[in-house]
Amino acid sequence: MAIEIINTGSELMIGRVLNTHHQWLCAQLDALGYTVGRQVSVSDEGSAIVGAVRDSLSRSDAVILTGGLGPTSDDLTRGLIAKLLHRRTLIHEPTLKRLQNFFQSRGREVPFHCEVQAQYPEGALIITNDYGTAPGLLIELEQNPFRESGAKALLVMLPGPPNELRPMFRERIIPLLKEKLPNRQKHASITLKTACVGESYIEKEIAPRLEELVLQGLQIGYCARVGEVDLRLSAFGEGAEEIVQIAEKLSRETLGDMIYTERDEKLWDIVVRLLRQRGQTIGTAESCTGGAIAHQLTNVPGASEVFIGSCIAYANEAKTELLGVDPQSLKLHGAVSEKVAEEMAAGLHQRLGVDYALSATGIAGPGGGSEEKPVGTVFIGLATPEGTQTRKLFYPYDRETFKLSVVQFALDWLRRTLNGIS
């Protein structure tokens, strides 16, 4: 099944907004066994949208169109699609009533342009939006006028905001795709997530062991991000499930505890879950990361059960007064040192009474480095009930990448510790 995605929005074209739909929608569709043949972004200009839709419908079984369903003057999708398909634009009275109730229940005046969001091309299925005001739309083209074969096609229109699009897609669109565009090709896949190891290393270790399975139809994909690499194993057709199962077994044997999950979760999700299961607590003492470790931990639902607190001790005075770092340690070794990282972690561990304390002190750059301690140098400390350890690492990247690299290593180190992995 060939699917194409069109993301509309001038904000995407001028770099004001990151197109997060690209990765997320492709991942969702791939998990269902659908193939995304193309994904494009276009401005909120009528001819650009119409041209992209016409082009995609000429070769695809389904087209997913995001954005342009709001109430403002640049939200043109409904009318443009109606005109392209030579259909009337109608008012969906239940949607209009729902929108009116939405504003009235919040004590707000109903906007004069509210009616726009209740408009739809004749024959479209209205997809309720429980997360915003703009409903989605689905049009079944039993005879696709833009494809030479005339084969059936689906045109799906979804609102642009991710907090609306994602739950709508999971709850409404996936069941509709399965019903109206069933994927009869057998498909199996799994993604194994690894932490703190490079993409080239993963490939060097994995490729020889999976070579025979590749000849049988196994597809191997590598997706590298800061501090982690996803290993994707997939196959299509008869025997796909067995091929992927064998590949997974061999990959786990090869990579071992470098794999931290096969689910849609991050290191911080796992750390919080492990701490909750053990009834233990965590705190962070951060300098160069500026609270980034604490930020990721507290993004996890349920973190309040395990996360006690954090100290962002950027200046030396804060390190001594808040964490009990010995001034002599700072004088003799410097703020960026093994000794100071150790005392930061141990100090927070004692002051908060937590089971585990992570610390980070380093040189994020671009200035401040030396020959002995160049930009990118960082020391991470981990205080546990058994004592305190430190690690020296080197991440010569921009500040944002440096911080995320430190976060990834620190939380993976804690993950390993909680799992009894040295």
**pLDDT tens-digit map of 273-331:** 999 999 999 999 999 999 999 999 999 999 999 999 999 999 999 999 999 999 999 99
Helix axes 316-323, 338-352, angle to 10 degrees: 40
Our CA angle for 259, 265, 267, nearest 5°, is 60
pLDDT of residue 112 exceeding 70, the answer is no
Domains of the chain as residue ranges with CATH: 2-180 (3.40.980.10), 187-261 (3.30.70.2860), 267-418 (3.90.950.20)
pTM, 2 dp? 0.79
At 331, phi and psi to the nearest 5?
-70, -45
pLDDT of residue 395 exceeding 80, the answer is yes
CA 153 to chain centre: 29
CA 130 to chain centre: 22
Sign for the CA dihedral angle at 201, 204, 210, 214 comes to positive
pLDDT of residue 150 exceeding 70, the answer is yes
Query: CB-based burial of residue 199 (10 Å sphere; 0-12 exposed, 13-18 middle, 19+ buried)?
Result: middle
The pLDDT of residue 71: 80
Q: Residues 378-387: pLDDT tens digits?
A: 999 999 999 9
Q: Residues 345-393: pLDDT tens digits?
A: 999 999 999 999 999 999 999 999 999 999 999 999 999 999 999 999 9
Report the candidate in 156, 137, 168, 174 with the shortest Cα–Cα distance to residue 61: 156
Report the candidate in 63, 39, 59 with the shortest Cα–Cα distance to residue 138: 63
Q: Which residue has the tokens 């209009």?
A: 96
Quote the longest CA-to-CA distance of the chain. 80
Pair 54, 150: CB distance under 8 Å? no
| pLDDT over 70, % of the chain | 99
pLDDT of residue 133 exceeding 90, the answer is no
Pair 363, 336: CB distance under 8 Å? yes
Pair 89, 120: CB distance under 8 Å? yes
Q: How far is CA 420 from CA 263, 272, 279, 284, in A?
A: 21, 16, 16, 21
Count Cα atoms within 13 angstroms, Cβ side, for 23. 5
Q: Give the span between the Cα atoms of 122 and 396, in whole angstroms.
A: 57
